Amino acid sequence: MNLRCRGPSGQYTLAGLEGSLSVRAFQQMLAEKTGVPAAAQEILAGFPPKPLQLPADSAGATLADLPLQNGDTVVVRQAAGSSAAPAQQAQHSSAAAYAGQAQTMASAASGDQAESLARSLAASLAGSRPAAPAAQQAQQAQAPSWSIPPADQDDDEELARAIAASLASSDASPAPTRPQHPQPAAPAGHAGQQQIGAPTSVSLPDGTAVVRRIIASDNSCLFNAVGYVMERSKTRAPHLRRVIAETVAADPETYSEAFLEKPNAEYRKWIQDPLKWGGAIELSILASYFGREIAAYDIQTKRCDVYGQGNDYIERVMLLYDGLHYDAMALAAFEGAPEEIDVTIFDPTSPSAPAIERAAAELVAKAHEARQFTDTTNFTLRCGVCQIGVKGEKEAREHAKATGHQSFSEYHRR
């Protein structure tokens, strides 16, 4: 039997386990992997994860006596009332987990600023939308102004960055990132506003919760969001970009210039550029690569597009999109649970799936009510050069191409 194990110190694989292995020996293995002593362990399994009732005689009972099957995931956490090992105490508190999220968001400041600055556009349109977390505000306040990118970038990205630079230089506060999906959908805000708006989790009747997990704004949020839900890593973008390039190279007939909107070889080079943003094509390829459905929830439209649907995949993951940025969605073992025990993959045909999907839809609906999205089709801008008003990214792009003007600011028609 092979099992996956998640604990405070990470995720592990336990391979070649015999059914005759004693529960005591099994718990000792878990202790060695997770750092949680056998006497202090609470072991969860199933979906959603629920505590296992361990036999009183752990030496006489065997692994075969537990309701576990090959390929299952077990979650090990510190049992309530027990004392944690020093290293574990630091890792296992939900406060530390959420501080880690803030640190992840702030870490984008050390990388490319393009995506964060693109969020300036959303911020100028945000009105009364919720403020970005403090760490993110600090990151963005220190971000340098973005210069107009070189001409070899495609028009959408060039325009988005030009607009972002214009708004950033006029004290607009950054918000989400740029579209990586056909329709918009996550949070925007003005620095200094009071934190308001939609929750980041919705509880289920059994005590678990569908939660939003923040992905850094570093031009690769789509890829890192997929990496998190598929492989529990937020740094898989370079690998997943290569996967996409290799997939496209292997099937030039399917991935033709007409399909990719650029020659196959050019696309392969383009998608491996860490400054480029992905979209529907990339999500469909990654769904096929992992053999799982990817449900992308759009906050603006409240729609869910499922990539890989109809391919008889038996597992699904969830993403959240705000028109400018992708975050991940997961099932937390309980409200405030740390990320390391998230469950990100579920069977859409299981009895628990409808409740999970309802909670995800509720999370999206509440974000929509709080207007935590950016409508890149209908916002209005004024050209900073000729003062002409334009509506939406399409008109702005056309104006920029026709005139060479790339300085825009928010514009309210009267």
Just list the catalytic residues.
218, 221, 325, 405
At 260, list the tokens.
């990719």
At 377, list the tokens.
């089709």
Q: Which helix (H) or strand (E) holds 295?
A: strand 293-298
Contact 364, 302 (CB under 8 A): yes
Letter string b/e over residues 191-230, b meaning 16 or more CB atoms within 10 A of that residue's CB: bebeeebbebbbbbeeebbbbbbbbbbbbbbbbbbbbbbb
Q: Which helix (H) or strand (E) holds 304?
A: strand 304-307
Q: Enumerate the β-bridge partners of residue 42.
A: 77
Look at residues 136, 112, 124 and name the one whose alpha carbon lies nearest to residue 168. 124
Distances (CA, A) of 132 to 175, 195, 382: 7, 8, 25
Distances (CA, A) of 165 to 118, 131, 258: 8, 20, 32
Look at residues 299, 300, 285, 308 and name the one whose alpha carbon lies nearest to residue 327. 299
Contact 46, 347 (CB under 8 A): no
